[in-house]
Structure 1
Amino acid sequence: MANFEKSLNIRTTEHLELFVEDGILLCIYKDIAMVDLAYAQACVRERLEYVRDKTYPSLFDITRIKQSTKDARDFLANEGNELVSASAILISSPMLQMTANFYIMVNKPINPTRMFTDRKSALEWLARFKD
């Protein structure tokens, strides 16, 4: 995170690194082998505390996640999308691509959601959802 301007309000929690950049919320998940329901709920709770009732288009960097449970994906697709106008999921491996595709196609998130392999494209897509 050292290359970001000091003016960014970066919050590091037990599960995430959170900051807003040019009107887009970035949620960077920390290294974890398995995201289960309790972990997903904690991540959403930390995000909601950070945004303080403001809705953002959001980039979810899951490049350091190995797997997730069905319960976690179901929660994230529905209740977990509170105060998210659109979701860009940043992935880095074929396994994450398969998981993200499954999440989008089967869990059917309640907001516009796309998967990306590069941050720049994800941020460009999310920009159309800014207030």
Structure 2
Amino acid sequence: MANFEKEGEKSPKKTECLELYLREGILYCIYNEVKELDLDTARVCVQDRLDYIDGQVYPSLFDITQVKHSTKEARDYMAVEGNAGVVASAILVTSPMVKMAANIYIHVNKPKNPTRMFTSKEEAVQWLSQFKA
């Protein structure tokens, strides 16, 4: 991991499921390869993220390009309880299957914060920038 640490920002952290880092007021959550994101895994990922941000709130980029499938229960959880500490969510996708799952999440699960899907990290970061404190 590169050193992105700036004044007031934390060092990057790797967990079993995620790589987390802050850069210029945006939280990056990069999911490791996951064949199925089920409810238990979703809860662990959210808790890892909450521990990392320690009560702060950030616009967040969720790179789910390595997630192959997610269960309905995991998507339901992420849309409500899983959005704690998130001002806005940009979901980064690449494959058509992940894009379809992200569309279902956005339009069916209806996350409680502004959420958009992107295929470009740069466009996602640009959109999230409007939500920075």
Q: Residue 6 and residue 120 in structure 1: after superposition, are their counterparts in 2 closer, same or farther (change >3 A)? A: closer
TM-score by length of 1: 0.96
Alignment partner, residue 18 of structure 1: 20
Number of residues paired by the alignment?
A: 129
Residue in 1 aligned with 2:100?
Answer: 98
**Larger fraction in strand:** 1
4+ long deviations beyond 2 Å: 4-8
Q: TM-score, normalization: structure 2?
A: 0.95
Q: Which moved more, 1:39-48 or 1:4-13?
A: 4-13
Per-residue CA deviation, residues 45-67 of structure 1 (Å, 9 max, x unaligned), is: 00000000000000000000000
Number of the residue aligned with 2:50: 48
Which of 33, 36, 60 is residue 34 of structure 1 equivalent to? 36
* Residue type at the aligned position of 1:88: A
1:86 to 67, 83, 88: 88
d(CA) in 2 for partners of 1:95, 1:54:
32
Gaps of 5+ in 2: none
Counterpart amino acid of residue 5 in structure 1: N
Write the mapping of 1:49-128 to structure 2, written as runs, cut at 5 A.
49-128=51-130
Structure 2 SS opposite 1:67: coil
Segments of 5+ residues of structure 1 without an aligned counterpart are none
Give deviations 1:16-74, integer Å, cap 9, x for gaps: 00000110000000001000000000000000000000000000000000000000000
2:4–2:22 CA contact under 8 A, matched in 1: no
How much identity, in percent, do the aligned residues show? 53
Deviates more, 1:5-14 or 1:54-63: 5-14
